[in-house]
Amino acid sequence: MNYLRKELYELIKSDESIFDFIQESSLDGLWYWDLENMEEEWMNPKFWTTLGYDPTKMPHKASAWQDIIFPEDLALAVENIQKHLADPSFPYHQEVRYRHKNGSTVWIRCRGLAIRDKSGKPTRVLGAHTDITQLKRKEQLLLETNRAARVGAWELDLENNTVFWSEITKEIHEVSPGFQPDLATGINFYKEGKSRETITNCIDAAIAEGTSFDVELQIITAKKKELWVRAIGQSEFRAGACQRVYGVFQDIENKKQAETKLQESEEQFRQTFEQAVVGMTLVDKKGTWIKVNDSFCKLVGYSRAELLKSGYKNLVHPDDLKQSNEELTQFAKGEVEVYLKEKRYIHKDGHILYFIIGVSKVVDAHGRIQQFVAQYSDVTERKLAEQKLFQSELQFRETFENAIIGLGLVNKVGEWTTVNNSFCKLVGYNRVELKGLTFRDLTHPEDLDKTVVQLNELATGKRNIFFQETRFIHKSGKTIWLVIGVSKVLDGNGKVLHYVAQYSDVTERKEAEEKARKYSILEAKSKEMEQFAYITSHDLREPLTTLKGYLSLLLEEFSADMSEDAKDILQFSIEGANRMDELIHGLLGYSRLSQVKTLETVDCNKIIRDVLADLSVSIAKNDVTFDIMPLPIIQGYPLEVKLLFQNLISNAIKFRKKEQNPIIKISHQVTSSGWQFQLADNGIGIEDSENERIFHIFQRLNKQDYEGTGIGLANCKKIVELHNGEIWVESELGKGSTFYFSILTRD
Ligand code: ADP
C-alpha cells in the first residue's frame, strides 16, 4: 500500500477531524442506519443543509427523511436496499428526489453500503448523498431542447450486440418508452426501397470502414406515419474492430415539407412565369433583367438573349424613360406602395407598343427586397382603337360643326343637346336660346302631329330613319320650310340613346313652287279673260258697225233738217262710236296676240321702214327727227314685231313736248341670248312710280291731254314676252323716256 494512503488511513483513525473534513467537503450528506433498530439513523449536518433544514433541529430518526423523500422514490429505495441486503453484489445505487424545505425538488444520488457482522448478516447501512440537482436540470433542459428540435440519439453497441435509442428517438419512431430495439427492427423502420437500402449501406460501411454518414431518409413509424428523418452516424474503432456506431436521429418532416412547399411554389412560379400569356420579367435590385418569359419576347419582338443583354432602358419609349426611372426608384424605395402604369415601349421593328405594367416586390423573410416581378399587358390595340375613335370623334365634331346643313342631336324628350352653327342660322336662335326648347316649340302647329307620329315609329323600331318636309317657325316669326331627316343612335342594349336630325332649308324652293302655283292659276284666269275679251269684242263689233253705219247715214241724209245742237250731238255720238270701235279693235288685237304662231326671220330694218311709211303723215306733221342705227335680223313674229315698233314710235311722237320737235333714237346690242333694243325720245317723260303700271292694259297717265286706249304698251309687253324677252322703261319727267326690250328667240 502506498505510504501516504496508509498514513491517511491511520490519520483518519486517530484524528476525527480528518474524517469530518472529508465528509463535509466531498459529500452532500452522510447517513448511518441501524438495521437492528430501524428507527435509529444518524445523519450528518450537511445531509440536512442540502435539503434546506437546520441540522440542530432535526432528529436522528429514519422517519425524518422518509417524510420528505418523494413517495415513489422511497418505494424504489426500499426495494433496492432489500436487494442489496440480500445480495452484496447488487449495488445500492440510485437517484431519488427530496422535497427541499422551500418546496423545490432536490435530486440526490444515493449510494449505500451494508455493514455486515461476522456471520455476514447486515447490521448497519452507511450511505452517502451527492446533490445532482444542477446536473438533472441540465439534463432536463437538454431533453426539452432535443424534444423541441426533435433530435434523439442512438447507439449500436457491437460488443454487446445491443441497440440504444434515446427518449426522443423513441418518440420519433412513435414507440413506447420501454421499447427495446435491435439492429434489424431499427432498420426495418426505414421505408422499403431507397431509404432502407441507404441506411443499410451506411451502417455496413460504418462498421466495415468507419465511414460516417449524414443522410435524409424516410421511415414508417410504429403508428404507420411516413416521416422524413435525418440520420447521422459515426463509428468507434478499437484494435481495428468497430466497437460501436452511434449518432443523432432527427425528425425533419417539417423542414422537408417546407422544402417541398418551397420547391412546389418555386416550380409553380417558374411555370406561371414561363407559360404566362402576359409578358413577365424578373428584375434584380439594380433594375437588370434576370429572366424574361416567352410572351414578353414575342410582345417586343426580341430574342431572350437580346433582351437580357440590352435591358429595359433600350425598350422604353425615350419620352417615357425619365419618368419611368423616377417612378421605379420611388417604388423600390417604398415611397409608393403600388406600381401600375401605362407605358410606351418600342417594338424591335420600330412600332410603338402600349403596355400596362404592374410591378411587385419579391422580399425575403426579413422583408428586404430581393427582386421585382414585372407583368406587361399589351393594350396597343385598345389604345390605337381609342386614338382612332378620338380622331373620328374629332372628325365628326368638325364635320358636324362645319356642315352647311343644319344638324342637331336630340334627346329622348325632344330637346336639342347639341346643334351646329348652320342650324342656329336656320332657325334664328343661338345655342343659349335653344337650351330647353324642344322640336315641339319650333315645329309649325299644323305639322307637329305628323312629326310626332314619325318619331314614335322611329322609337318603336318600325323604321330606322325618316325624312319629311316640315314647317318651322323662325325666331322672327316667319314660317320656314325644312326637309328633316332623323335617324337614331342606339346603346349596347338596342335602346335609343338620342336622335341625329338634319335640317335643309327649302323655303325658297317652296316659295317658288307656291308662286308658280299661283301664277299658273292666274295665267289660266287671264287666258280665260282673254278668251272672254276676244269673244265679247268680236261680238260687239257687229252691233257697233250697225250703230256706226246708221249714225253716219243719219248725219249724211238728215243733217240738213237738224238743228246745230242736234248735229253736234250726232257728231259726238259718231266719235264715241268710233272710239269704241277703236277700243274693241285694240282689244281684239290684244287677244289675238296670244295665239300660237311660227317663228320667222325678221329684218328689223325693213320693219322700221314699213312703220315709218305708215306713220309718214304724223311724222311730217310733227317734224320728227330719227336717229336709227342698223338693226339686226332676228327670229320672231313679223306682224307682232311691227306692232311693237309702231306702238313705241307712235307713243314717242304722241307724248312729245309741246315746245320741242320729237327726236327718236333707235339702237340695239347683241346679248348672249339674243338682242336688246333701245328706243329713246325727248318727250314728256314718265314718273318713276308709274314705270310698271303703264305696261298694264287700259292704264293711261295723261288722259286729259292725250287720246288713247291704254292698250298699246300692254300689247308691247305681250309681244316681247312672246319673244321670251322683257320690256321696261327708264325715264325722267320732262326730259324724255327710253324704252328697253329684249328678244331672246335666237337659237
Ligand atoms: P295710250 O298711248 O293709248 O294711252 P299706251 O298703253 O300706249 O296707251 O300708253 C300708256 C300710257 O303710258 C300713256 O297713256 C302715257 O301716259 C304713257 N306713255 C306711253 N309712251 C310714252 C312716252 N313715250 N312718253 C311719255 N309717256 C308715255
CA angle at 78 for the pair 74 and 79, rounded to the nearest 5°: 115
pLDDT average, residue stretch 703-731 = 91
Residues 705/654, Cβ–Cβ less than 8 Å: no
What pLDDT score was predicted for residue 25? Answer: 85
Measured from the Cα of 699, ligand 1's closest atom is 10
pTM of this prediction exceeds 0.85 = no
CA angle at 451 for the pair 446 and 452, rounded to the nearest 5°: 105
pLDDT average, residue stretch 245-251 = 94
pLDDT average, residue stretch 286-308 = 91
Q: Which of 698, 701, 707, 709 to mutate to test the pocket of ligand 1 (most atoms within 8 A of CB)?
A: 701
Task: Measure 669 CA to ligand 1 centroid, in angstroms.
Answer: 25
- Is any ligand 1 atom within 6 A of the Cβ of residue 263? no
Count, residues in the chain: 747
- Asked whether residue 747 carries a pLDDT value surpassing 60, the answer given is no
- Is any ligand 1 atom within 6 A of the Cβ of residue 640? no
User: Pairing relation of β-strands 633-636 and 496-505?
Assistant: unpaired
- Is any ligand 1 atom within 6 A of the Cβ of residue 127? no
Pick the more confident residue, 328 or 611: 611
Task: Measure 700 CA to ligand 1 centroid, in angstroms.
Answer: 6
Question: CA 260 to CA 239: how far, in whole Å?
Answer: 45
- Is any ligand 1 atom within 6 A of the Cβ of residue 694? yes
> What average pLDDT does the structure give for the chain?
91
What pLDDT score was predicted for residue 251? Answer: 94
Half-sphere exposure of 568 (CA within 13 A, CB side): 3
Cell of 580: 269704241
Cell of 406: 343644319
Residues 242/236, Cβ–Cβ less than 8 Å: yes
- Is any ligand 1 atom within 6 A of the Cβ of residue 652? yes
Task: Measure 179 CA to ligand 1 centroid, in angstroms.
Answer: 155
Summary count for the chain: helices (H), strands (E): 24, 27
What pLDDT score was predicted for residue 541? Answer: 79
pLDDT average, residue stretch 296-311 = 90
Of 395, 398, 420, nearest in space to 500 by CA: 420
What pLDDT score was predicted for residue 348? Answer: 93
Task: Measure 573 CA to ligand 1 centroid, in angstroms.
Answer: 25
Q: Which of 651, 716, 727 to mutate to test the pocket of ligand 1 (most atoms within 8 A of CB)?
A: 651
Q: 337-382 pLDDT, tens per residue? A: 788 999 999 999 999 999 999 998 888 888 888 888 999 999 999 9
* Rg of the chain taking only CA atoms, in angstroms: 71
pLDDT average, residue stretch 82-90 = 93
**Which alpha helices (DSSP H) does 364-420 contain, by range?**
380-402
Q: Which of 678, 694, 704, 732 to mutate to test the pocket of ligand 1 (most atoms within 8 A of CB)?
A: 694
Cell of 280: 413577365
Residues 715/589, Cβ–Cβ less than 8 Å: yes
Of 92, 93, 94, 103, nearest in space to 51 by CA: 103
Q: Which amino acid residue places its CA nearest to atom 12 of ligand 1?
A: 694
User: Pairing relation of β-strands 406-410 and 416-419?
Assistant: antiparallel
- Asked whether residue 148 carries a pLDDT value surpassing 60, the answer given is yes
- Is any ligand 1 atom within 6 A of the Cβ of residue 713? yes
Q: 623-655 pLDDT, tens per residue? A: 999 999 999 999 999 889 999 999 999 999 999
What pLDDT score was predicted for residue 397? Answer: 85
What pLDDT score was predicted for residue 746? Answer: 61
Residues 678/739, Cβ–Cβ less than 8 Å: yes
- Asked whether residue 74 carries a pLDDT value surpassing 90, the answer given is yes
Residues 737/730, Cβ–Cβ less than 8 Å: yes
Pick the more confident residue, 603 or 148: 603
Q: 542-598 pLDDT, tens per residue? A: 888 888 888 888 888 888 888 899 988 888 888 888 888 887 887 777 777 766 678
What pLDDT score was predicted for residue 596? Answer: 67
Enumerate residues 6+ apart whose C-beta is below 8 A from 226: 191, 218, 219, 220
Residues 305/396, Cβ–Cβ less than 8 Å: no
Of 643, 624, 631, nearest in space to 603 by CA: 631
Question: CA 651 to CA 659: how far, in whole Å?
Answer: 17
Q: Which amino acid residue places its CA nearest to atom 18 of ligand 1?
A: 651
Of 334, 292, 338, 285, nearest in space to 311 by CA: 292
How far apart, in Å, are the Cα atoms of 614 and each of 493, 618, 642?
90, 9, 11
pLDDT average, residue stretch 647-673 = 94
pLDDT average, residue stretch 135-149 = 89
**Which alpha helices (DSSP H) does 334-476 contain, by range?**
380-402, 421-427, 431-434, 439-442, 445-459
What pLDDT score was predicted for residue 582? Answer: 82
Q: Which of 655, 707, 728, 733 to mutate to test the pocket of ligand 1 (most atoms within 8 A of CB)?
A: 655
Q: Residues of the chain with pLDDT > 90: what percent?
A: 64
Q: Residues of the chain with pLDDT > 70: what percent?
A: 99
What pLDDT score was predicted for residue 218? Answer: 96
Cell of 591: 287677244
Task: Measure 742 CA to ligand 1 centroid, in angstroms.
Answer: 19
pLDDT average, residue stretch 167-181 = 94
What residues does 600 pair with on adjacent strands?
Answer: 636
Phi and psi at 7, nearest 5°, equal -65, -45
- Is any ligand 1 atom within 6 A of the Cβ of residue 648? no
- Asked whether residue 530 carries a pLDDT value surpassing 80, the answer given is no
What pLDDT score was predicted for residue 83? Answer: 94
- Asked whether residue 286 carries a pLDDT value surpassing 60, the answer given is yes
Element (H, E) at 310: helix 304-310
pLDDT average, residue stretch 69-75 = 94
What pLDDT score was predicted for residue 272? Answer: 85
Of 74, 63, 125, nearest in space to 97 by CA: 74
- Is any ligand 1 atom within 6 A of the Cβ of residue 50? no
Enumerate residues 6+ apart whose C-beta is below 8 A from 539: none
- Most confident range (mean pLDDT) of 228-232, 317-321, 569-573 is 228-232
Of 138, 174, 170, 177, nearest in space to 151 by CA: 170
